[in-house]
Structure 1
Amino acid sequence: MTFWENAFLWGWADVALLRMVVKTEQMPFGEITKEDFKRITGEDFDSEVPAE
């Protein structure tokens, strides 16, 4: 289990925070992949923040 998995499971990080650490073209130094994001959150990664 990775740091980010634990952070999400224990409530230290939410989906919005995890979205900021995904490795993308705009964020080449991200710490998790899009696949990691889906495995951790159960949601597909979309760089757009959903409207509230």
Structure 2
Amino acid sequence: MSDSVPPVSSGNSQAAIDRMGAVFDMAIEKSAKITEISTAKKAELDATKQRPN
């Protein structure tokens, strides 16, 4: 996962759109990683709970 985002050249709307896309992609990657970690932690926690039958 890379945190590098392309710079925006002044007056270049395509560069701004590209940068926005890169930021969204980075956010999606980070969100997926957070979901992966939290799902694993929840599974571990659930496995330790004792539930009555």
Could you say which structure has the higher helix fraction? 2
How does the TM-score come out when normalised to structure 1?
A: 0.26
- Answer with 1 or 2: which has the greater Rg: 2
How does the TM-score come out when normalised to structure 2?
A: 0.26
